[in-house]
Amino acid sequence: MDGNLVEDAPKSTFTADEEKHIFSHPFFAKSAEEMEGNPAYEALRTLKYESEDPNANAESFKEEGNYYVKEKDYEKAVSAYTGGILAKPTDKKLLAILYTNRGIANGLRKNHGSCVKDCKWAIKQDPSHLKAYIQAAKSLLILKKPTEATEMCEAGLKVAPTNEVLAELKAKAFALAETKAAEESKNVSAVKESQAKLSTVFQQLAARGIRVDFDLPPVGLPDHAGVEISFDHMNLIHWPVLFMYPEFSQTDFVQDAAEYLTIRECLKHVLNPNDPPPWDKDKAYTTSEDEIEVYFEDTKVAKQMVEVPISRTITELTRCPGFSVRRDLVIVLFVVSKLSKNFHKKWIENLRG
């Protein structure tokens, strides 16, 4: 007799992949959560609503959607309510509830545009469904659309003239409309003031013979930089100046460069030989006229880079033939170091064509 008291277990006739497929069936699941997303499970779940009565099917989907809203799973709630709508219930009031509930779920997902659309569909199905008017008005207020919100509230108040919620929402819409109107008026005034100020600046620059090139795009400084040309009490210009270092694709910015300052004095604000920028490892960029060259771009006359001595003042720079500023009134200067021999050689070769 064989000494083994336990018989050998029969070997499976299925492959590992076949066993995995079999045991993934909902029959073997320990919980519903375990089967979320499983095609077989989803098919089984759908079967519970396959009644011959479309209203019963839609009601089941509605209850499922309500459950998911309570669980704060708004995406699944939207899917459930959609299932109810697609069940094509003949009960218009039920269909209106489904649309409204889907709208609420969309609103909870911060998809207020879809919420408004769903509520409007709900009203078409059942014009007496107040919840749709209320929810649509709330979303329209969030979307900052006071006129549409007011219209929605007024439509709802025709159905229920004494409804306090709609009356309160209408008051909020009216207040929002006034606030928006005040902001728009303020913005229009600010734009007009800015345009008038800019027009005066352009006239002053033209009187001094400084050309503004409106064909070129602005430098594109961030709006929050708050940088602009200004005039002091002696009517001297204070320019914003952008220094560009083409060798390293780096920039420096001087917000307020008085026109009587030299280019060297402006550069001293951004180039310190004792504390060179991290990209200037060789300390090649100084404020020495023997070591540095500065250029501006002539886009009209010579149509090339024009060198200007750094001993020149900003006023003298603006009087150079071919000099211009872009329409955002920022002076742009290109800085090249003679100590960077390889780059400087290429730069000069490019200038000569």
* pLDDT at site 10: 47
Cβ atoms < 10 Å from Cβ of 73: 15
53-66 pLDDT, tens per residue?
Answer: 999 999 999 999 99
The CATH code of domain 51-176 reads 1.25.40.10
315-344 pLDDT, tens per residue?
Answer: 999 999 999 998 889 999 999 999 999 999
Q: Using alpha carbons, select from 48, 54, 84, 86 the residue that is nearest to residue 68.
A: 84
- Rounded distance, CA 77 to CA 134, Å? 20
Q: Using alpha carbons, select from 274, 275, 251, 255 the residue that is nearest to residue 266.
A: 255
Does residue 195 or residue 310 have the better pLDDT?
310
* pLDDT at site 273: 83
Amino acid at 297: E
* pLDDT at site 48: 54
pTM: 0.53
The beta-carbon contacts of 83-91 under 8 Å, at least 24 apart in sequence, are: 83/49, 84/57, 84/58, 84/59, 84/60, 85/58, 87/49, 87/54, 87/57, 87/58, 87/61, 88/54, 88/58, 89/54, 89/55, 89/57, 89/58, 89/59, 90/54, 90/55, 91/55, 91/58
- What value does the mean pLDDT of the chain take? 86
* pLDDT at site 343: 95
Residues above pLDDT 70, as percent of the chain: 83
Query: What residues does each domain of the chain span?
Result: 51-176, 230-352
Amino acid at 192: K
Whether the predicted pLDDT of 353 surpasses 90: no
In sequence order, what are the residues at sequence separation of 6 or more whose Cβ sits closer than 8 angstroms to the Cβ of residue 269? 254
277-313 pLDDT, tens per residue?
Answer: 999 999 999 999 899 999 999 987 767 899 999 999 9
Q: How confident is the model at residue 109 (pLDDT cuts 50, 70, 90)?
A: very high
Domain range 230-352, its CATH number among 3.10.20.90, 3.90.1170.50, 2.40.37.10, 3.40.190.10: 3.10.20.90
Cβ atoms < 10 Å from Cβ of 54: 18
Write phi, then psi, for 235 (nearest 5 degrees): 65, 25
Torsion of CA 194, 197, 203, 209, to 10 degrees: -90
